[in-house]
Chains A and B, each alone.
Chain A
Amino acid sequence: MHQNTNHLRNEFRGLRVAITGGTSGLGLAMVRESLMRGAQVAFVARGREGVESVARAHTGAYGVVGDVSKKDDTHRIALQTVGLLGGLDVLINNASDLGPAPLALLADTECEDLERAIAANVLGPFRLTKALLGALALSAREGRGAVVLNVSSDAAINPYPRWGAYGMSKAALHHMSRIWNEELRAEGIAFLSLDPGDMDTPLHAMAVPDPDRSQLKRPETAARELADAIDQLLAFMHSGRGMLEAAR
């Protein structure tokens, strides 16, 4: 397994990290990467069986069964997450919905498929972040730093045909991250919106059923890169320069 040797100081040690969509693909890789770096992890996913199986296999990771796209699940997920971790430093909004599968032209996209993508990719992260903002702000006030990573996509920027529902929702998520970053920087909460690249994950397999897997990034690689980005941001926030920016 990869050892984090990029930084003399590992910002993840003792961090309290929540990850949505944590039982497969990039989310599961982020659970493992965070644990390996010494974080305490709570992960969220819809299926109880998958949640219990991942929790059993990963000591130190708490599983929370819930659907981030459902409004009524939001505060229950937040309650269990913060209750179990005793606070929260990092939130990774990773759970995503592709929209229509197989992919469809926008003109052929059913409204219900678009609504589902927006519920999972925009409204879900919005609600969960809002419910967890108090815990994140508390972490920031105590000098631990607080980061929200919203997993984005190049489809948030590029208008790829047939990726309409997904691309629209990821564009909204990307812009939401940027606005939140502007509004909450002064509170010491930083937002990242990062494109992990095309990965060999269940979501990608739904979109592209017959891919050239040799061309796809392994989710473990993407998880390491994303964790490095969070690590660097926390290191910056903990430096005098970051504190100065937060105080402005």
Chain B
Amino acid sequence: MIAAHLPIQRPTQAKLLAVDGRGNIEHWPRSQFADLLGPGDLVVANDAATLPASLSGQHVRSGRLIEVRLAGRNSLAPDGIRNVTAVVFGAGDFRLRTEDRPEPPELRAGDRLMLGPLRATVAELLGHPRLVRLAFEGSPDEIWEGVARHGQPIQYSHVSMPLALRDVWTAIAGLPVAFEAPSAGFALDWSTLESLKEREVRFATITHAAGISSTGDAQLDALLPFDELYRISSATALAAEEARVRGGRIVAIGTTVVRALEHAAQDDGTVTAGEGLATQRIGRTSCLRVVDAVLSGVHEPGTSHHDLLRAFMDDDTLRRMDQELKSRAYRTHEFGDSVFVERIILGVGRMPGQSASIAARADSRRPTPGRPVTVELRPAEPGRRPVRWLH
């Protein structure tokens, strides 16, 4: 797979690999994402705007240059910006691969940091020499201005040009609480939302403070994703309940939405409104109680994002998906292509009515340009819910 290196959220040639609940794989232009959904479905996206969470500066005691990447906070309230969790890097910036970055100086509680106009103190170390809790000095409006003026979006070496905030805010970006972009949402623009509405697909959002995706330190990376705050409005919880009752699918835009909805899920599949701290890691043994499908980026095996897909499908299907992504040169990372994955459900599906199989529908389509090409068909396995792939 190749890394997408240009910060374009919706390149016209963006691709979408879709895996249905029986393991069938199709390739679509991502701009036609809405065509995969139908009446009664609910799309849930992360409306968090992204903070310029990379702050360069100096560790005062040693005089050495550092980069601080904000990675978590204690509260989603405006003054929650005062106290943050952060990962500290040595000198340099995103142009150097995170794993090649020099170590920061030894950090101790009470150390002061000068980060442009911002002043912060290391309040405590969080079990790792580079993971700290920081307390910023000043009033919330001074801190917000300092972050806004001095901070840069966190980025990695596969994108060589410095990112601006506008590059990392999704079209629906609202509350600025994410530390890295909830990039699955790059696929959505207002026209897509309009298409969803035309198809009687409902749209709702949660606010999830997406954390950082890589630190370059194996020990720290093993802890990812860090705990992440989220907020689910009563309107979104209600929309999820209505979709459940009506038998529509709940489609998460991005892994952060999966994490939040599943964290807020009750045993009966209802979603509790309110704020929460998502602490779980979703993987092969996770039982999904709310989310039926996810639109996600193309992730390399071994990452926590890739691991999350194991909650949706068996390892064999995941392997076939990865092979397809590789052989068709799908692009990875935040500005890359996407996958749409339905979860495999054993037993009786909870949706009324059943659509034609993916093969039958593919056959009935006129071979017009831009239509998906079915690359692999597998017979339905007994007990597995046929996909409802509506147009």
Contacts and interface: CB of A to CB of B under 8 A. Distances in A.
20 contacts: A55-B141, A72-B164, A74-B166, A75-B166, A75-B169, A76-B148, A79-B51, A79-B52, A79-B165, A80-B144, A82-B49, A82-B175, A83-B148, A84-B144, A133-B171, A133-B172, A134-B169, A134-B174, A135-B175, A187-B193
B175 A76 contact: no
The 8 closest A-B pairs by CB, nearest first: A75-B165, A138-B174, A135-B174, A134-B174, A134-B173, A134-B172, A76-B148, A86-B78
Interface residues of A, number: 31
A126 B169 CA distance: 16
A134 B171 contact: yes
Contact of A134 (B49, B76, B164): B49
Given A134-B171, A186-B197, A80 B145 contact: yes
Interface string B155-177: 00000000011100111111110
Interface string B125-148: 000000000000000110011011
Interface in B64-95: 76-78, 81
A131 B145 contact: no
Contacts of A141: 204-205, 233, 235-236
Given A86-B78, A134-B171, A79 B166 contact: no
B149 interface: yes
Contacts of A64: 145
B149 A76 contact: yes
A50 interface: no
Given A87-B175, A134-B173, A141-B204, A79 B144 contact: yes
Interface string A113-142: 000000000000000000101110110011
B47 interface: yes
A102 to B, nearest CB: 35
A65 B145 contact: yes
A183 B169 CA distance: 21
A65 B142 CA distance: 11
Contact of B141 (A63, A75, A76, A133): A63
Main SS of the interface on chain A? Answer: helix
A10 to B, nearest CB: 23
A12 interface: no
Contacts of A211: none
Contacts of B176: 79, 82-83
Given A133-B172, A134-B170, A135-B174, 6 more contacts: A76-B149, A82-B176, A83-B175, A134-B174, A141-B236, A183-B190
A75 B205 CA distance: 21
Q: Which of the listed residues A75, A78, A137 has the most CB atoms from chain B within 10 Å of its own CB?
A: A75
Contacts of B170: 134
A134 B169 CA distance: 9
A87 B174 contact: yes
Q: Which of the listed residues A79, A138, A141 has the most CB atoms from chain B within 10 Å of its own CB?
A: A79
Interface string B19-51: 000000000000000000000000000010101
A74 B49 CA distance: 14
B345 to A, nearest CB: 29
A166 interface: no
Contacts of A133: 171-172, 190
A62 B78 CA distance: 12
Given A138-B47, A141-B235, A83 B144 contact: yes
A200 B214 CA distance: 56
Nearest to A63: B141
Contacts of B148: 76, 79-80, 83
B294 to A, nearest CB: 21
B78 A85 contact: yes
Contacts of A202: none
A215 B278 CA distance: 61
